[in-house]
Amino acid sequence: MIKTSGLSKTFDGGVEAVRGVDLSVEPGQIVGFLGPNGAGKTTTMRMLTTLLRPTAGTATVAGHDLIGAAKEVRRRIGYVAQGSGMPPVTPVKGELELQGLLYGLSRREVAARTAEVLARLELTGLETTFPAALSGGQRRRFDIAFALLHEPALLFLDEPTTGLDPQSRANLWDHIRSLRAEKGMTVFLTTHYLDEADALCDRLLIIDHGRIVAEGAPAELKSGGRTLDDVFLDITGRSLREVNELSGQGA
């Protein structure tokens, strides 16, 4: 579902944010992308979602070349950024319907898909509510509903549960699992939460200074009785718990 070779991004001024990333994600996997702030997680994700053009390297996403067929990639992916981009003046149902029409769905398809994603993400009854009036958990579920309306094969989630209370986080995990179980969807997510990575992901990729420095199933990385925080500390020289505290995200 995702295959990259030497994927790199250098910004103006010579800042190398991503340095030759090679990664592979199989259909139906939930893959977690871990790393300290500034390690290259979001830059990599923005390249994979066609929002940034790579400086070097190649990639195929959802079966299409990232650069040569960017439009086809966008048709087949959903993307939820760290901060919601939903306008505060459009009600939930109207925003979802507009998204469906922009993807070329018929009005009948839009109506059916809107009802389905609202029910799937427990947002039924909030159709006329404005996004600004939603709770934190409702807002993140709405962001995901927005990304799911066109039934993408691949869903990108950039720190989807940051700022949510434990119950809302656990609820969102259940929704993400159901997408894979019921729809066969592939999910690629970044997270700062070790419990989230451990409980939710089939595989983990750890990036530091723009390079993939470790990968494997959570159980593999924790072999020998180590915790994921031990693994992260060994690899990057920093505890992920410490990284979270410095970024104000808690443990």
> How many Å apart are CA 212 and CA 227, to the nearest integer?
19
Please check whether residue 163 is in contact with residue 191, taking contact to mean a CB–CB distance below 8 angstroms.
no
> How many Å apart are CA 121 and CA 116, to the nearest integer?
9
Determine the pLDDT at residue 240: 64
Where residue 212 falls (left for φ over 0; alpha for ψ -120 to 50; beta otherwise) is beta
| Amino acid in the structure at residue 56 | A
> How many Å apart are CA 105 and CA 97, to the nearest integer?
9
Please check whether residue 187 is in contact with residue 204, taking contact to mean a CB–CB distance below 8 angstroms.
no
107-120 helix and 136-148 helix, angle to the nearest 10 degrees: 140
Beta-carbon contacts of residue 57 (< 8 Å; ≥ 6 apart):
4, 5, 6, 7, 8, 20, 21
Beta-carbon contacts of residue 2 (< 8 Å; ≥ 6 apart):
23, 24, 25, 48, 59, 60, 61, 62, 154, 186, 188
> How many Å apart are CA 127 and CA 246, to the nearest integer?
38
> How many Å apart are CA 21 and CA 53, to the nearest integer?
14
Q: What is the pLDDT along the chain (251 residues), one digit of tens a residue?
A: 999 999 999 999 999 999 999 999 999 999 999 888 888 999 999 999 999 999 999 999 999 999 999 999 999 999 998 876 666 678 999 999 999 999 999 999 999 999 999 998 999 999 999 988 998 889 889 999 999 999 999 999 998 888 788 888 888 899 999 999 998 999 999 988 888 888 899 999 999 899 999 899 988 888 777 777 777 777 777 666 665 555 544 33
> How many Å apart are CA 242 and CA 251, to the nearest integer?
8
User: Considering the entire predicted model, what is its pTM?
Assistant: 0.89
Determine the pLDDT at residue 249: 46
| Neighbouring-strand partners of residue 18 | 9
* Domains of the chain, earliest start first: 2-246 (3.40.50.300)
Determine the pLDDT at residue 38: 84
- Find the helix or strand (DSSP H, E) in which 159 lies: none
Tell me how far apart the 2 most distant CA atoms of the chain are, in Å.
55
User: E strands within 100-250?
Assistant: 154-158, 186-190, 203-208, 211-216
